[in-house]
Amino acid sequence: MFAARLRELGWTEGENLRIDYRYGNGETASMAPVAKELIDLHPDALLAITALSAVTLRQYTLTIPTVFVQIGDPVALGLVTSLARPVGNITGFTSFNFEIGGKWIQTLKDIVPGLAWVAIFFEPGNPSSTPYVSAIETATAKLNVHLIPAPILSVGDIDSAFTAFADISRGAVIALPVGSVILHRKEIIALAAQHRLPGMYPYHFCVAEGGLMSYGPDIGDQYRSAASYVDSILRGTKPTDLPVQQPTKFEFVINLKTAKALGLSVPQSLLATADEVIE
């Protein structure tokens, strides 16, 4: 999506463009060395995917133009002081408002009769985890739903979490859009199915892989927009002249096959509002 959009804008790898990729496995400890590797290449621009990547890169450079995607609140994270005019070398695209946690909880309550508890999978140490958990905690308190924190750094943590709460009835799980959780999403989806627990996920691809529901921004649209910002920067525009943009397109996806396997009847009111129903 990102590279394809750059090609549309006139940039071709091997001719007038070089893209170097580095992966941190979505885990906090792995980010610093790969961030430094990228900085040492002296690129003309950086693309930071997720809050952890952006925050880590910012520790190494305040000058290389940087575009971020998949970040909740860049102001709260200290990446920018203003969305409208981001002073410094960084700008980009927010993907979530932390209050979306209330939407996730309410939607689960609509589909799970007598919802009593929700386990929230998050990555400790990730700068986005705390505000997400806080917002969801507020939402669960208002709806009289018990919140069970499930910190995830490895696959073993996922197994332990499900072992701890899987036998409690009338529950569900939420997977946050943070590094280690998305990295290990398939394990979460598989164990949720095994223990017959409904799940809410942040992205469409999680539901395509067997999750029950997702509600979140159109990620493809964000990467295409990020490519347009990088194009502008490569042509001389400063990040300070490119405002941070919030998502305008959200997707609500339901997997009816998963709902059936879980013995859930999806209310018509939810089906009517879904952008896509996987059968």
pLDDT in tens, 91-106: 999 987 788 899 999 9
> How far is Cα 87 from Cα 173, in angstroms, rounded to an integer?
38
Question: To which residue do tokens 């005019």 refer?
Answer: 85
* Architecture of the domain delimited by 100-216+251-278: 3-Layer(aba) Sandwich (3.40)
Span 194-198, average pLDDT? 95
Same fold for the domain at 2-95+218-249 and the one at 100-216+251-278?
Answer: yes
pLDDT bin (cut points 50, 70, 90) of residue 28 is: low
Q: Measuring CA to CA, which residue among 139, 146, 209, 214 is closest to residue 174?
A: 214
For residue 26, pLDDT over 70 is answered with no
For residue 267, pLDDT over 70 is answered with yes
Residue 48 phi/psi, 5-degree rounding, is: -105, 120
Task: Tell me the C-alpha to C-alpha distance, in Å, between residue 47 and each of 34, 38, 93, 141.
Answer: 13, 10, 11, 37
B/e letters for 54-81, b = 16+ CB within 10 Å, e = fewer, are bbbbbeebeebbbbbbbbbbbeebebbe
Q: What is the tens place of the pLDDT at every residue in 245-266?
A: 998 888 999 999 999 999 999 9
Q: What is the tens place of the pLDDT at every residue in 141-183?
A: 999 999 999 999 888 999 999 998 877 889 999 999 988 898 8
Span 219-246, average pLDDT? 95
Q: Where are the domains of the chain?
A: 2-95+218-249, 100-216+251-278
What's the pTM? 0.82
The mean-pLDDT minimum among 106-110, 132-136, 203-207, 270-274 falls in 132-136
For residue 224, pLDDT over 90 is answered with yes
User: 2-95+218-249: CATH homologous superfamily?
Assistant: Response regulator (3.40.50.2300)
Q: What is the pLDDT of residue 195?
A: 94
122 bridge partner residues: 151
The residue among 180 and 116 whose pLDDT is bigger is 116
208 is written with which tokens?
Answer: 């395509």
